[in-house]
Each structure stands twice: as C-alpha cells, then as structure tokens.
Amino acid sequence: MTDRSTDNVPHRVAVLSVHTSPLAQPGTGDAGGMNVYVLQTALQMARRGVEVEIFTRATSSSDQPLVRVAPGVLVRNVVAGPFEGLDKYDLPTQLCAFTAGVLRAEANHEPGYYDIVHSHYWLSGQVGWLARDRWAVPLVHTAHTLAAVKNAALADGDAPEPPLRSVGEQQVVDEADRLVVNTEDEARQLVSLHNADPRRIDVVYPGVDLETFAPGDRLTARAALGLRADEQVVAFVGRIQPLKAPDVLLRAAARLSGVRVLVAGGPSGSGLAAPDALVGLAAELGIADRVTFLPPQSREQLVNVYRAADLVAVPSYSESFGLVAIEAQACGTPVVAAAVGGLPVAVADGVSGALVSSHDPDRWADAIAGLLRRDSDELSRAAVAHAQRFSWAHTVDGLLASYSRAITDYASARRRRAAGDVLARRNGRRWSMRRGVRA
C-alpha cells in the first residue's frame, strides 16, 4: 500500500470535473471560469510537487484517454455516454458510467494511490462521494454555482434549474468532508440554503494568471482587433446566454452615442436555442454598426480584448465570482459589473470600476458613462492594484490548507470509529460471557 503523507499534505489529488473539460476553450458550450479554475490550480499544485489527475467526460472520439498537460498534471478523458449531443442536463443519466471509469482507473494502482478527492460542480460531487467511500479518502467539494441561487435571479427567457439538481447538491453538501467556496457570500448561501456546517467551509478566492494578464499598449491591441483608435469601447467576454445578460449591455449601449460594444464568446446553455439572438437585438436597437462580435478567444487573444477596451462589462444575473472581472483589471481595464454573487469581491466599487445594483439598461448606461468620464489612467492603476490581490498561488495556498484540514479530520474520525468498534466488540464478548454463565 502507498504510504499516506505524514504531514497531511497530499501527494496526489484526484480532481473530478464531469461536465466540462479543463482543456476546453472557455466561452464555448459549458466551458467557462470553472475550466480555468481547475486547470490553473492543478498547474500551480504541480509546481509545488503535488500530482493532480483530472477526470472529465470525453466529448469526442478523438479525445485521447490520457493527456499529460504538464509535469504532474494528467487529464483522464472518461468515456461515459455518447460523445456528442449531451448537455449537462442529460449527464445525470451517465454518472454511473463515469463513476465506473473513475473507479477502474484507480483500481489499476495500489490502494492508497490518491490522498484526496476534489469535486467541482454537483455532478462531480455525486461521483466524488462514491469514490471517497471506495478509496477511504476525504472528499473536498466546490459547487461553483447553486441551483437555488440561480433560480432566484433568472433572466427573462431563461429556464430554471431542475429539482433534481437541488436534491443532488444537498446530498453532496451533506457528504463532503470539506466545502470550498469562492466568497463569504457563497459560504452564507450554503449555510442558509443547504444547512451546511460552517466549520466545514473554507473560503478560497479564485485567482488570475498575473503573468499572462498584464497591462499593455491599447492602440496595438485595437489594431490587432481591427478597432479604431479614437472610439470608446466596452467589452463583454463570456458565454452568450441569458444568465450572463449581454443583452443588458447592448440595451445600455443603445443609450450611449458613439460607444462601441465588443462581444467575445459563443452561445451556451439556453442561449443555444437562439444563437443569433444577440446579433438580431443589435440590429433591432439600431446599433449593429457599433457592435463587433468575436468568437471565443484563447488566453493570448483574450489579453488583446481586455487591453483594447476602455471598460469590461460583467452584467450577469448570477456569478459565483467572475474571473473575467479579475482578468480585465489585471490588464489595467476597469470593470462595470452587476452587484451579485462574488462580483462585489472581484470589483472594488468606485475604485477599480463600478457595481450596478439592477439590470435596468438606464442604470447601466449611467454607470458606463460615469466611468468613461473619469480619469482613465487613475482607474487603470487602481484596477491593476486590485487584481494583484488575487493570484493562483494564493488560491492554491487556500486549497492545500483545506486539504490538510480534510485529511486531518478524516484520519481522526477513522481512529474514533476504529476505537468505537474495538470497544463494541469487547462489550459484545463480555455480554456473551455473561449470558454463557447464566445459561
């Protein structure tokens, strides 16, 4: 059997990300901030000598079973259901197949191969719960979003999360040894909505790659994107779906003469039902000539989008944190964001940008206009300074501390159970002897 770490620092972590691969392009399908989080934290852990194996569902026949992303980071593409045609709402039917693939992978090693399981999103938590029991290691879970929170702030035309998800989330919250959340607000939600034990919750802020996302020349970035040097540009980056509310930005821009909107992303979720709806809305509002649409961008290309913009808008109805906001600020671009979820942490209101407490287009137009009138150099410096508070190194500090607590508590609980079993057996033998004497 593989020796467990004596200092409660894991040597090998099994990460579960069922519904979206860390290798997928953010801004497409279900790929977004969670993909970035899983990959960047894995890379950072590997640099510290902690091996990470990420289990995700294969979505193409061309997916290799094993992909070595970097030394110490391995992605396992598990075949579970058809490669195409399934969205995340269909995936509960494939959890059994996915779990079997995960358990078979571990069965090829000696017992004790993984020190801990970290599941992301409720679907992964269902798998992690079973793996935890089979492997006798602790389970750490990160929800990223909660059904009840999303359903309480639905956009027009968006579909509510099904009851199945709420039930599944409750089960995972009850079973996980520790729960990692992005913000204090999310911690309060877990307690109020799912009766989570606050003592099992760790708040760990997500981070940003401060080497990749850094200030640069705006005119060069605009030239690369074919934008004019003298126009005011407000960018939206992310999945195009009602939840992310890009329509709010377009409606606000229609009230602001001369402002160009730059949209980088692809349709996702309920937005797939009308993939060209945003293009149609721009035409309906009479601003089609002021809206530039770009497909989802790679990390390197995304830097140009952030640098080219005067502002980045994050008008989401629900957002557990908002990595786009931090990435933009790291590039020196202030952010106007909805005052929801983790965005009040990601954006320093009045300093590195502005928070808007509604989705009314007039309020958004006022907020955008107000920021565009301010000293751009001062805002840019404040945005960079705020983003410096967040790094993936700091995030991994928090994750490893959570893992250490989980391993310590799990080992203590096993010792208590073992001691209780010994005591029960002793008491059972004494009772049997007494019965024998009486007989």
**Residue set of the binding site for UDP-N-acetyl-alpha-D-glucosamine:** 25-26, 33, 239, 244, 297, 319, 327
CA distance 141 to 16: 9
User: 135, 161, 137, 157: which is closest to 147 by C-alpha?
Assistant: 161
Burial status of residue 82 (CB atoms within 10 A of its CB: 0-12, 13-18, 19 or more): exposed
Three-state secondary structure call for residue 73: strand
CA distance 168 to 125: 8
Three-state secondary structure call for residue 356: strand
Could you give the C-alpha distances from 421 to 115, 136, 415, 433, in angstroms and in order? 24, 17, 10, 18
Three-state secondary structure call for residue 227: coil
User: 124, 107, 119, 22: which is closest to 63 by C-alpha?
Assistant: 22
Supply 334's token pair: 């202030």
Q: Where are the beta strands (DSSP E) in 2-81?
A: 12-17, 51-57, 66-70, 73-78
Specify whether the CB–CB gap between 33 and 323 falls below 8 A: yes
- Binding site members for Mg(2+): 306-307, 309, 333
- Binding site members for 1D-myo-inositol 3-phosphate: 19, 30-35, 88, 121, 145, 165
- Binding site members: 19, 25-26, 30-35, 88, 121, 145, 165, 239, 244, 297, 306-307, 309, 319, 327, 333
Task: Give the other-Cβ count within 10 Å of 274's Cβ.
Answer: 15
Specify whether the CB–CB gap between 22 and 44 falls below 8 A: no
* Maximal CA-CA distance, the chain: 101
Could you give the C-alpha distances from 64 to 52, 71, 84, 222, in angstroms and in order? 17, 17, 16, 37
Q: What angle do CA 154, 150, 317 make, to 5 degrees?
A: 55
CA distance 342 to 187: 11
